[in-house]
Structure 1
């Protein structure tokens, strides 16, 4: 097959992730559409683990916007494996939407907290969880960003420091203060 001849839709649908990434990087929008078609369902379910259906759709859309931007940016590093990379982007998009102070969240669903035999246990866990979420929201923005990226996203202190233009020691200090505040609130 010659490189100048575009792949058919059937060939794109069966192409490997690496091939689709390479084609997208080369400017083939149909290759990116094949990525969207392949991962839209799994990523939508992934976003719904964190958000309601309406806001999960927003997170899914943001996921593909971010992925497209990264895949078409010639300076960006290509992902080693597309599936976990897309799931990471989806998780980050969902968490960013969940942190939006303008969103009104309903009560935490009972099944998220687990099943307890006594209603008092469920009530106590629910109160603790609500207080913990409120405490995270009350943290200063810099502390909240560090604790969420490190604890929930798994980012290293060094990576966070590089992104924020700070030293790793300063990031560790922010994380230490955030954990202390959260412990006191719990």
Structure 2
């Protein structure tokens, strides 16, 4: 029996990321299951910053498929730090799914903007809302990601910077450019 098989489930849960990566590389599927259990929730939330719930679940699944393939490939380079590596895979999987033309967003439902007393008001609001959605969709990926996470999800610039491996100043600059582009489009 190999040393990897001798670890109890509680020892696997307490193991460091580096140890779990080494065990997964050695073929211990329980170690990879522990990685999945450890990072499933945080990575699901990360994917939902980019996508709706169902496509985010697809991105999460793709993240673990890609990670498992890389960790068990003897020719692949092991990650220096597991957590940021997994977040990068999740971000890339979510962005790939978001780019899928088959997931194009449908029209906004008529009752989404509320009930207006005047049809002209409802029409004007609807046009404005559609314009904002189009303008956000036209932003470069980095600007769109920052503006959506900050304005709609309430993430701080520091949090976004940490997730993307950038400085908070760079994130603020991206947000500034995005807001300028959106103002010009309005």
Scaled to the shorter chain, the TM-score interval is 0.5 to 0.7
Per the TM alignment, residue 127 of structure 1 is displaced from its structure 2 partner at its CA by: 1.9
Partner of 2:59: 59
1:130 aligns with 2:134: yes
CA root-mean-square deviation? 3.5
Partner of 1:73: 73
The 1:103/1:4 distance shift into structure 2, 3 A limit, reads closer
How does 1:31-180 map onto structure 2 within 5 Å? 31-106=31-106, 127-133=131-137, 135=138, 148=141
Per the TM alignment, residue 69 of structure 1 is displaced from its structure 2 partner at its CA by: 0.5
The 1:4/1:78 distance shift into structure 2, 3 A limit, reads closer
1:21, 1:5 → 2: CA distance? 14
2:5, 2:59 → 1: CA distance? 35
2:141, 2:104 → 1: CA distance? 20
2:55, 2:129 → 1: CA distance? 26
Per the TM alignment, residue 132 of structure 1 is displaced from its structure 2 partner at its CA by: 4.8
Runs of 5+ consecutive residues of structure 1 not aligned to the other structure = 111-119, 137-146, 156-181
Partner SS for 2:102: coil
Per the TM alignment, residue 154 of structure 1 is displaced from its structure 2 partner at its CA by: 7.3
Runs of 5+ consecutive residues of structure 2 not aligned to the other structure = 114-123, 146-162, 166-180
1:22 aligns with 2:26: no
What is the TM-score of this pair, normalised by structure 2?
0.61
1:117-160 deviations in Å (ceiling 9; x for gaps) = xxx9xx76862451352x47xxxxxxxxxx758x97979xxxxx
1:36, 1:67 → 2: CA distance? 10
What is the TM-score of this pair, normalised by structure 1?
0.61
Count residues in correspondence: 138
2:45, 2:5 → 1: CA distance? 35
Partner of 1:144: none
1:7-55 deviations in Å (ceiling 9; x for gaps) = 1111101100000000001110000000000000000111111111111
The 1:90/1:7 distance shift into structure 2, 3 A limit, reads same
